[in-house]
Chains A and B, each alone.
Chain A
């Protein structure tokens, strides 16, 4: 039992950190610009595919640097030539633009790389078990993912809260005209912020690619859960996203570990009643519904506390 608890905690934290890695860029963009970027998971997918391709050409470590830059550049182009023009038509137009973009990217990726999973491997340098607990191995690569997530969290927090750049970025959101009058190029600030957010997604892609499956539907598979993280953590709050990622990772992992059902808690239904929808529901275990638990959390949070755990933005 202790074994299962320790290992589930570890698995939960590791999965949670991966979620944070994915959602950090989304949070940055949302908190700074108020744009809920539906194409964020697609930038993550682009990161994974660029990472795979560049790894083949120049090796993993240069790819780790180059792929996010490339994705960031694409992000900046999207902001400059897409979002900036739709911005004046309001949030719905922006949302629709990113929504369409997500589908376009998926199609393009599957046209270039096909739909079968790529053989994107963990770099040899990190391909060994880092430590063993209760005879379960933890790959060094997962610890690397964890470390990167924490570093990103700290760096982002410091840059946004403690530096001049962060100050300008935050001011540009609420008082764009004032910031503009002070001599800052507000348009460029937004473009850079969007670029950085996209690059973070790209970085997550390069890193998560070998750990998960790199194929053209990976954006669609992870997209929805990212929104859960961002909304649950509090719209636009970086610490909120961090905590939400951990909570969701842990909740999902522990839910899988639990075999309990209503039947095991209260006893089986009267068999004479015969099989019905009710007996089905009664016998469903928590493990079976584990993957939908985060979405239940999302619904609950929206009802009880619409701004999320640590959110400040009135949306």
Chain B
């Protein structure tokens, strides 16, 4: 059974139900039920018209639920008054779904969950697995999210920046469970980019493609983190890199620069170097300057310090670092790296060990511990 096809159809089918008069929450529930039935029935013989099949089954589920509902009379009047539209074009409805699911009234975790279900077509179980929480927890999170947006007009114009933040969050979650969230985020961003001409949508898509292209080289066979400079560049996905660069170039040509395009430009410069030593650090520093100008983000400044360390030498990097707040995440790791490049192995080893203690995840902690161990052996 083509699960990817099912997921692609989900937002369209929800849109059709909403146009027929279902409210968003009821439509979303009905489509989930239809998806579960599709997973059960399709392997025995997929329908010739998958979208039509889903619409029919989801509509039946919706009517069943409506009849069972205490407020059924009111709803049935609504349903009968509404002209029944065929399963035709529903492009705009799908776009509305993106905006609704990323609505600013939702917490980021809720927006992510709702987007993955209503736009992405994932089941609650799959989303729960991906975020390592019990299914019941995730079901509650989604119900709460649907209640929160229940009063929002489906045809209200949405906020692209909010949608992009949600998709970026999904992408950064990466991989756990049987769903690859990074790939899912790329699929959803691709769909969005096809519907809307927006430089930052293209910027985010490019950024995701360029990062995803390097993923096979980012971890060793034992799950170990491999830093950029040591990655086997032969394992980078050149097809994804080429696509990411194309998407970025078109976006940059529109002259509406934003933070995702700037980040993608940095990623593209890394992707462009056949060997780590060939990296164009001078240009990367220039892009970080743009990024700092656009976002004023302390994290961008921290990354800039690393780039400055490569372009102008570790002393310059340390000077850039000295202007930043030592409480920043990964500050100590960056300091350790720059001190090592500056030849101060004792300080570097101490800082690596300190950075390991405050590492935000296990692979990073293990990587930093190994760095400390390596230097302690040398000094």
A and B bind: no
B residues near A, CB below 8 A? none
A residues near B, CB below 8 A? none
